[in-house]
Amino acid sequence: MMSDFDTLRRDWLAHLGHERRLSPKTLEAYGRDIEQFAAFLTHHLDAPPTLKAVAALKPADLRAFLGYRRRDGVGNRTLMRQLAALRSLARFGERSGRLAAAAFAATRGPRLGKGLPRPLDAKAAAAVTKADSRAGEERPDWVLARDAAVLSLLYGSGLRISEALGLKRSQAPVSTADALTVLGKGGKTRMVPVLPVVVESIAGYLAQCPWRLAPEGPLFVGVKGGPLSPRIIQLAVEGLRGSLGLPGSATPHALRHSFATHLLGRGGDLRAIQELLGHASLSTTQIYTRIDSVRLLAAYDSAHPRARG
């Protein structure tokens, strides 16, 4: 028989999926986090957890759980996600009148160092998006054209890789007057412009693609005609690191960072960049202003006669 704690966990995950519209991968991670917490409590309390037992937990009990996970080699970022999952579960329980658990809000998590995004410079980003950069690979020409078209969308329109691969054939832009409607995180849609070079890249892929693409089917397909896996694009960029001499930070997502950084460096409006990226909060976009500040100070340090005085 399902315990009241397991019932709450089931209802919470359903809420996150149906009403909050979190991605399946996020739901899977959150579900795993609560399973690990339940397993810890079973040992910690000498019995499977109930809502009454969870409500009686103290911050020391939650710190014990975080310490238990750290001993398994889990890093700070994962610990913060697990604590966020626990807090979310507790808030859901409070709103539904089933759980009052102040310890979850009172427990502080580990500190995270805030790393800056690592964009590519404009020359490297442009090279990554060209099929010619992989001319020596033993891959069909249409595959090279396909990968170049995907990467062109990431750099030219600032898309996430999931957003690019989620496009339908009917959404393929046919002129620079077109704009793409992208389905982003949380099921939110936004409009993004399409550069002429991106339109040309997609047209080149479509002209060579050997598969007949249904209008409501995926725009980008794999070698067997099915939906294209993000891993294929990641591997393509990994191969380009060696051939182009790119750093290890060169990933498909780095092209999205490059899009934002280069727009800002050319005087782009921060609010407009926020809209183009689909960020819910301006504070998320503001991290790119820190990149510009870092570069400015580095240029000063290296060039000013008295910078090192």
Whether 254 contacts 82, CB under 8 Å: no
Is 139 catalytic? The answer is: no
Is 87 catalytic? The answer is: no
Annotated active-site residue in 9, 134, 146, 279? 279
Q: Which residues lie closer than 8 Å to 170 by C-beta, 6 or more apart?
A: 215, 216
Annotated active-site residue in 70, 81, 130, 185? 185
Annotated active-site residue in 160, 205, 257, 262? 160
Distances (CA, A) of 1 to 4, 6, 167, 289: 10, 10, 43, 54
Q: Is 181 left (phi over 0), alpha (psi -120 to 50) or beta?
A: beta
Is 253 catalytic? The answer is: yes
Cα–Cα distance between 224 and 218 in angstroms, integer?
A: 13
Annotated active-site residue in 63, 118, 139, 253? 253
Is 256 catalytic? The answer is: yes
Q: Which residues lie closer than 8 Å to 295 by C-beta, 6 or more apart?
A: none
208-237 b/e with 16+ CB inside 10 Å = b?
ebeeebeeeebbbbeeeeeebeeebbeebb
Radius of gyration of the chain (CA): 24
Annotated active-site residue in 256, 257, 266, 306? 256
Is 18 catalytic? The answer is: no
Cα–Cα distance between 192 and 189 in angstroms, integer?
A: 10
Q: Which residues lie closer than 8 Å to 93 by C-beta, 6 or more apart?
A: 8, 12, 51, 99, 100, 101
Is 160 catalytic? The answer is: yes
DSSP 202: H
Active site (catalytic) residues: 160, 185, 253, 256, 279, 288
